[in-house]
Amino acid sequence: MRIDILTLFPEMFESPLSYSILKRAQQGGIVDIVLTNIRDFAADKYRKVDDKPYGGGPGMVMMPGPIFDCFEHVEKLSAEKGRVILLTPQGQKFNQAKAVELSKEKRLIFISGRYEGFDERIRIGLGAEQISIGDYVLSGGELAAMVAIDAVVRLLPGAVGDEDCPKDDSFSESADGGLEYPQYTRPEVFRGMKVPDILLSGDHGKIAEWRRQQGLERTKKWRPDLLNSGKKEI
Ligand code: ADE
């Protein structure tokens, strides 16, 4: 997969992209992540990328010119067309199903905004879909892009080893879209708290059933909204 990120702050991405799974996936050629600074495409000598909103109101809005020029430059860097994604609190809520869907693409082009938002012609003109990572407003789309990229890249084949395979994750199909079962590791007894006997029984069938039940209980208790959304079978 190729991921392009258009941003005013490419440096913000350096650390998250340099550790663990994201680092290994890039080194292993599973994903190629390319950062491009929108400000390099500003037309004037002040490198201006935002302006006052027409009709008045607070804050500044990202101008279409620099983003279109930046996008047209980036688009040509690969023959693959790519899916264009604007990070904005007005977008569709990002979730595991969306991560799975995006992980099947060959190319993703993320555009992170700042200020009060994007000039509407950016969304329309670039045919972009909008993604929000939750109902709160961040200072910009960079952290949101990182969240989405992390969730997508770990799903790419070969990105995580068998030892931490995302198959049984919370929200995954094997968890029926609900929460994952409780996990335990050594020691067997820690500060008086014992690992459930079933996990030491060696009976894989019983363990699988126990885990399914536990996942369901936890979903009912902590995330009943997942049951109501129809994602999880009761
Ligand atoms: N930009 C600002 N807030 C955001 C959010 N919640 N999700 C995605 N992008 C954003």
Which tens digit of pLDDT belongs to each residue from 81-136?
999 999 999 999 999 999 999 999 999 999 999 888 999 999 999 999 999 999 99
| 143 CB near ligand 1 (under 6 Å) | no
116 is catalytic: yes
Catalytic residue selected from 2, 16, 53, 89: 89
SS3 percent helix, strand, coil of the chain, rounded to 5, is 40, 20, 40
Give span(s): CATH 3.40.1280.10, the chain. Answer: 2-153
Q: What is each CA distance from 193 to 63, 189, 190, 199, 215, in whole angstroms?
A: 58, 5, 5, 14, 20
The answer to whether 28 and 20 have CB atoms below 8 angstroms apart is: no
The superfamily (CATH) of domain 169-227 is tRNA(m1g37)methyltransferase, domain 2 (1.10.1270.20)
Question: What is the spatial distance between Cα 171 and Cα 27, in angstroms, rounded to a whole number?
Answer: 28
Of 203, 212, 148, the closest CA to residue 180 belongs to 212
Neighbours of 219 (CB within 10 A): 24
Instruction: Find the angle CA(96)-CA(100)-CA(104) to the nearest 5 degrees.
Output: 165
- Residue 137 CA: nearest ligand 1 atom is 3
Peptide bond connecting 10 to the previous residue in cis, omega within 30 degrees of 0: no
Kindly report, residue by residue over 138-175, the tens digit of the pLDDT. Answer: 999 999 999 999 999 999 999 998 656 787 788 988 77
Determine how β-strand 32-37 pairs with β-strand 2-7: parallel
The superfamily (CATH) of domain 2-153 is SPOUT methyltransferase, trefoil knot domain (3.40.1280.10)
| 146 CB near ligand 1 (under 6 Å) | no
Residue 230 pLDDT: 55
| 88 CB near ligand 1 (under 6 Å) | yes
Task: Flag whether pLDDT at 222 surpasses 60.
Answer: yes
What is the Å distance from ligand 1's center to 162 Cα? 32
pTM above 0.85, yes or no: yes
Beta bridge partners of 62: 50, 118
Give the CA diameter of the chain.
71
Give span(s): CATH 1.10.1270.20, the chain. Answer: 169-227
Spatial neighbors of 4 by CB under 8 A, at least 6 apart, are 33, 34, 35, 36, 74, 77, 78, 82, 107, 108, 109, 110
What is the Å distance from ligand 1's center to 35 Cα? 19
Residue 164 pLDDT: 60
